[in-house]
Amino acid sequence: MNLTDKKHFLTVKDYSVSQEIFDLHHDATLDMLVTYPQPELDKLGRYYESVDYISHTDSKRSLFEKAYHFVKGIALKNKLELINTEQTSKGQLLDIGAGTGDFLLVAKNNGWNTTGIEPSEKAKAIAITKGISFVPDTSSLASHSFDCITMWHVLEHVPDLDFQIKELKRLLKPTGTLIVAVPNFKSYDANHYQQFWAAYDVPIHFWHFSKKAIEILFQKENMKLKRVLPMKFDSFYVSLLSEKYKTGKMNYFSAFFVGLRSNWKARRTNEYSSLIYVLKNK
């Protein structure tokens, strides 16, 4: 992406792995932030090599991880309710970035025919033990073959954003539903923590979306934004990590109050820490 017409927004650090410094540039047309420089694809994998990359493990080593998985159980029920509300007849479900497969397992047990895509061999191996089926990528999948496609905190990780959105359009049935969840850099907790905001997660987060960006990007593929929903637990999780990045330790009380304040302010602005976008074909 050409950054000559983008304005510098913030300088941030990779606190998880490399300790390297990156810039965030603001695309005013889309109201979206872009990570710069973006790592070369053959070197991208090393930025995921953190023992704390929690979505790639089922471990419960600490109070933090135990709390994460408790909340995850609640979130899985909410996700299942959402897809069942949007698609009343259960059909073909594709989850891109399926992690350890828990969402697909819940959906499969509820009657959906499930397929997953997951680049992490470690996470995929855990999911396979749960009976989850995977394909290597979308290239082998037939056009207009899925009733529902989900990307839970995955779109921000995709190097080729335009190609990914075109693929989502190609794979979705005319009557299907696309559900995309991403962090929201316009939230109160993002503004509060600034360069320490954990959801910037550079450089593995290439893009940082606003509602305007999602609307415009998918309009190009003749898809419309049906509704936007909050992920209220994310403000607490992200605030905990942000406290660690800012102070060197997890200040549970401070993080709780920042998360609570973020959700309270978002009742008026709808700028929650993370947002779920429900999209349909026009």
pLDDT in tens, the chain (282 residues): 555 568 999 999 999 999 999 999 999 999 999 999 999 999 998 998 765 544 545 555 565 566 666 677 899 999 999 999 999 899 999 999 999 999 999 999 999 999 999 998 989 999 999 999 999 999 999 999 999 999 999 999 999 999 999 999 999 999 999 999 999 999 999 999 999 999 999 999 999 999 999 999 999 999 999 999 999 999 999 999 999 999 999 899 999 999 999 999 999 999 999 999 999 998
> How far is 95 from 60, CA to CA, in rounded Å?
24
Which bin fits 53, alpha (ψ -120 to 50), beta or left (φ > 0)?
beta
Question: Terminus-to-terminus CA distance in the chain, angstroms?
Answer: 27
> How far is 43 from 75, CA to CA, in rounded Å?
32
- As given in the structure block, the two tokens for residue 130 are 């749960």
pLDDT given for residue 66 in this prediction: 64
pLDDT given for residue 54 in this prediction: 46
Domains of the chain with bracketed CATH:
7-281 (3.40.50.150)
Residues 6+ apart with CB under 8 A from 242: 189, 193, 196, 197, 198, 255, 258
What values do phi and psi take at 92, rounded to 5? -90, 125
Radius of gyration of the chain, Cα coordinates, nearest whole angstrom? 18
Residue tagged 């990779």 (tokens): 14
> How far is 175 from 38, CA to CA, in rounded Å?
35
What values do phi and psi take at 22, rounded to 5? -135, 160
Element of type H or E holding 75: helix 63-86
Strand ranges inside 125-248, DSSP E: 146-152, 172-183, 207-208, 223-230
Exposure b/e, 237-265, CB count within 10 A at least 16 = b = bbbbbbbbbbeeebbeeebeebbeebbeb
β-sheet bridge partners, residue 165 = none
> How far is 144 from 173, CA to CA, in rounded Å?
4
